[in-house]
Amino acid sequence: MTFADWLSDPVNWVYLAIGAAVVASAFRVVTSQNVVHAALFLVATLAGTAALFLMMSAEFVAWTLVLVYIGAVIVLFLFGIMITRAPLNVEPGLDNPKARPLAAVVSLGLFVLLAYTSLQAFGSDQLTDVGTPTDTVTLAESLIVRFVLPFEIVGFVLLAALVGGITIARRDLTPVEEEERGAV
């Protein structure tokens, strides 16, 4: 298939438009000089990614992205930013020109790595049944039956991270402090 063939399909225009929006807003996430704006551009990036998943009929992944990342993670980001300091104007200190070469190397390396592994894994395979989303029963069977061990391990790792997070955030009181707390 030549590029002209690929471009003649209107579906691919939609893909290009969404992809360009995702890239542009991802770029604004790192260049924006206002923390809240950066977080909001991250919302746009994630929403665009969810739309790309929808285009591949991966409904469940797309809505998981919306529920978990936009609905919970970003909300917590914004909550954390606003509860500490969230100036309405630009903060020039947010832009760090010294870190740019390093950031370029890291992001380029990540891109090459992901592109290489995807090409190695899928090559020229094409999605055949785009348009019919995988029904939840099939999805659940592969997640809970076939891949149950990785699924449980990921759950266990997340639990460990949660316990670690609570331990770091919550320091136990010394006996003296506890007495003071009790006296109040």
Partner 1 sequence: MEALLDNFWVVLLGKVLIVAALIPAAGLAVGFAELKLSAKMQNRMGPYFAGGRWGWAQLLADGIKFFQKEDLIPEDADEPVFKFAPALVLLGTVALFVVVPFGPGLIVQDLDIGIFYALAISSISTIGVLMAGWSSANKYSLIGGLRAAGQLIAYELPLVLATVGVVVMAGTMSLDGIVQAQAGWFSETGWTGGLPFVIPQLIGFVIFFIAALAELTRTPFDMPIAESELVMGYLTEYSGFRFLFFFLAEFANMFTLSAIAATLFLGGYWAPFIPDDVLQFAGPIILISKVAILVFIIIWFRWTFPRFREDQLQTLAWKFLIPLSLVNIIGTAILKVVI
- By CB atoms closer than 10 A (0-12, 13-18, 19+), residue 78 is middle
How far apart are alpha carbons 49 and 162 in whole angstroms? 26
Single residue of 14, 71, 150, 157 touching partner 1 by CB under 8 A? 71
| 29, 30, 63, 143: residue in contact with partner 1 (rule CB under 8 A) | 63
Task: Compare residues 92 and 123 and give the one whose CB is closer to partner 1.
Answer: 92
Min. distance of Cβ 136 from partner 1 in angstroms?
Answer: 6
Asked whether position 78 contacts partner 1 by CB under 8 A, the answer is: yes
Contact status: 143 vs partner 1 (CB under 8 A): no
* 3-class SS shares of the chain: helix, strand, coil, % to 5: 80, 0, 20
Amino acid at position 111, single letter: F
Closest to 38 measured CA to CA, from 23, 25, 48: 25
Is 83 one of the binding residues for partner 1 (CB under 8 A)?
yes
- Interface positions with partner 1 (CB under 8 A): 36-37, 40, 43, 59-60, 63-64, 66-67, 70-72, 74-76, 78-79, 82-83, 86, 88, 133, 135-136
